[in-house]
Amino acid sequence: MKTKVKFTNVYKTFELHAKRSEKILNLFSLSSKKKKFKEFIALSDISFEVYEGESIGLVGLNGSGKSTLSNIIGGVIQATEGEIEINGETSIIAISAGLNGSLTGMENIELKCMMHGLSKEKIKEVTPDIIDFADIGGYINQPVKDYSSGMKSRLGFAISVHTDPDILIIDEALSVGDSTFAQKCLNKMNEFKKQGKTIFFVSHSAGQMKQFCDRVIWLDYGTLKEIGDSTTVVDNYQKFTNWFNKLSNDEKKAYKKEMLGKQYRYTDVIKKKEISNKKERTSQFIKNTLAILPVVAFTILLLLGY
């Protein structure tokens, strides 16, 4: 089976309360009194391998790291440490992800399609399908900042599925749509699945997870608690949430405090290890550079009023 996504000992940390000036001063400080910075470990030592054609669910409590992991796979943010291998073009669908609020729906369609490398002709061809799928009526000509979250999600989903990615990441985009739209999206995702595409799916719905995913990853306070077939992992996760929900408010608070406490660390190490994405790094850099050119041209044309 062909590997599409492989994480080996991946970490993502966020520095807290550190000003840039403090960091620079620290870098040049020779004394032993180097200031320690507080870091939040959003993902800790994550390793897994996903194969072509698999649908992988991501479950976990709020703040467990699902969006952070999705954003790393989608190339929106970089990991801090570890090794990542991604073989294919990724497209992330999250509520309003990648949509530009000051541009209209139509302009966003053109911009996002360009960024995914679609030709002018191809964009012309898919635009009516995107408008039809999004089904947001006259709002397509309004700036996206005026959309409801459901409308943003509809447009984001419609654009992403028409850019023909082979690794699709869907981060709770279905939770804000109505049930008819959610079903339409699930049908489209099943179509992709049949075509052998790899899909990551973040959802709080146990039913959707079991219905759609082959395997599920359970994230717990930034660690990978379990990975396995969807029924087993979702059932175990539900047992855990049932246990958690039965706790008193004070017990819940104490549990969260204890678990979150493990996610903080103090460091004076400014320089992070470079993460390596063995196969894709160079080609991704070239692709990103090429992708920016039409975007710059498009923005200039917009500013000039064309």
Ligand X SMILES: Nc1ncnc2c1ncn2[C@@H]1O[C@H](COP(=O)(O)OP(=O)(O)OP(=O)(O)O)[C@@H](O)[C@H]1O
Bridge-based pairing of strands 37-51 and 3-16 is antiparallel
Question: With binding defined as CB under 6 A, does residue 144 bind ligand X?
Answer: no
State which of residues 42, 126, 216, 234 lies at the interface with ligand X (CB under 6 A). 42
Residue 120 exposed, middle or buried by CB count within 10 Å (0-12, 13-18, 19+): exposed
Judged by beta carbon, residue 260 or residue 300, the one nearer ligand X is 260
- The residues that bridge with 51 in the sheet, in sequence order, are 3
Write the DSSP symbol of residue 274. Answer: P
In angstroms, what is the minimal distance from the CB of 64 to ligand X? 4
Q: Nearest CA to 211 among 194, 234, 227?
A: 234
Of 3-11, 55-63, 84-92, 128-136: span binding ligand X (CB under 6 A): 55-63
CA 145-149-151 angle, to 5 degrees, is: 80
Question: With binding defined as CB under 6 A, does residue 60 bind ligand X?
Answer: yes
In angstroms, what is the minimal distance from the CB of 222 to ligand X? 7
Question: With binding defined as CB under 6 A, does residue 74 bind ligand X?
Answer: no
Question: With binding defined as CB under 6 A, does residue 223 bind ligand X?
Answer: no
Question: With binding defined as CB under 6 A, does residue 62 bind ligand X?
Answer: yes
Judged by beta carbon, residue 109 or residue 206, the one nearer ligand X is 206
Question: With binding defined as CB under 6 A, does residue 19 bind ligand X?
Answer: no
Question: With binding defined as CB under 6 A, does residue 51 bind ligand X?
Answer: no
Q: Is there a contact between 270 and 26 (Cβ–Cβ < 8 Å)?
A: yes
The CA distance from 227 to 218, in Å, is: 6
Judged by beta carbon, residue 131 or residue 227, the one nearer ligand X is 227
Question: With binding defined as CB under 6 A, does residue 65 bind ligand X?
Answer: yes
In angstroms, what is the minimal distance from the CB of 262 to ligand X? 12
Judged by beta carbon, residue 17 or residue 194, the one nearer ligand X is 17
In angstroms, what is the minimal distance from the CB of 190 to ligand X? 24
Question: With binding defined as CB under 6 A, does residue 66 bind ligand X?
Answer: yes
Question: With binding defined as CB under 6 A, does residue 205 bind ligand X?
Answer: no
The CA distance from 110 to 159, in Å, is: 9
Question: With binding defined as CB under 6 A, does residue 14 bind ligand X?
Answer: yes
Of 20-28, 56-64, 270-278, 280-288: span binding ligand X (CB under 6 A): 56-64
Q: Is 271 helix (H, G, I), strand (E, B) or coil?
A: coil
Question: With binding defined as CB under 6 A, does residue 57 bind ligand X?
Answer: no
In angstroms, what is the minimal distance from the CB of 204 to ligand X? 7
In angstroms, what is the minimal distance from the CB of 264 to ligand X? 11
Helix (H) or strand (E) holding 85: strand 81-86
In angstroms, what is the minimal distance from the CB of 223 to ligand X? 12
Question: With binding defined as CB under 6 A, does residue 68 bind ligand X?
Answer: yes
- Between the CA atoms of 85, 42, 291 and 277, what dihedral angle is there, to the nearest 10 degrees? -20
Q: Is there a contact between 241 and 60 (Cβ–Cβ < 8 Å)?
A: no
The CA distance from 198 to 168, in Å, is: 6
191-204 as b/e: b if 16+ CB within 10 A: ebbeeebbbbbbbe
Q: Which two tokens stand for residue 223?
A: 């660690």
Q: Which residues bind ligand X (CB under 6 A)?
A: 14, 40, 42, 60, 62-68
